[in-house]
Structure 1
């Protein structure tokens, strides 16, 4: 299952079928899956959560609550952005994109990308 599909699945199941207080089990499932997935990227869950506030300025568990059910999004790879915008007559000026943590991609359980793109219309 690809990252965007998994992420959308998380959103649909937890937001649509488990509203309100019952969404809590979905949070626990997400955290458990994330905890199991982190070692695949060479990171430890406890250390990730400990450094979360200083890295992001937020509480990890509050962020999980915000993410679950309120974020229908679709991830896109940098090459896909370039192809789509190039076909519309745009050229990249600056791109700040990181390589995915697992085989060059970031499946949904590893979080979304936070890349930045600056394109200019050329035609």
Structure 2
């Protein structure tokens, strides 16, 4: 079983290394993320639901860790995550079933101490 807190910390370190060597990329990506996660027509929680579904369909552990953590902070419940996972499986096929299970593990780990 993955250690999702470790993955979350390692993700930042890996990306930080890349951005240190390509600071324009880091600045541009950070700006893109800030622009997209502002509260507008969709709430931050709704946007995190979308990001989690895409992370599952893309089979990206670092993305799952980051966006599950952010979704929890935005108020996402386990029940909502289960529905989000279902949509991700619909769109991503069989492999997304495995990554949806990983997303639930991440949710459980991040909320265990909350």
What is the TM-score normalised by the length of structure 1? 0.25
The higher-RCO structure (CA 8 Å, 6+ apart) is: 1
Structure showing greater radius of gyration is 1
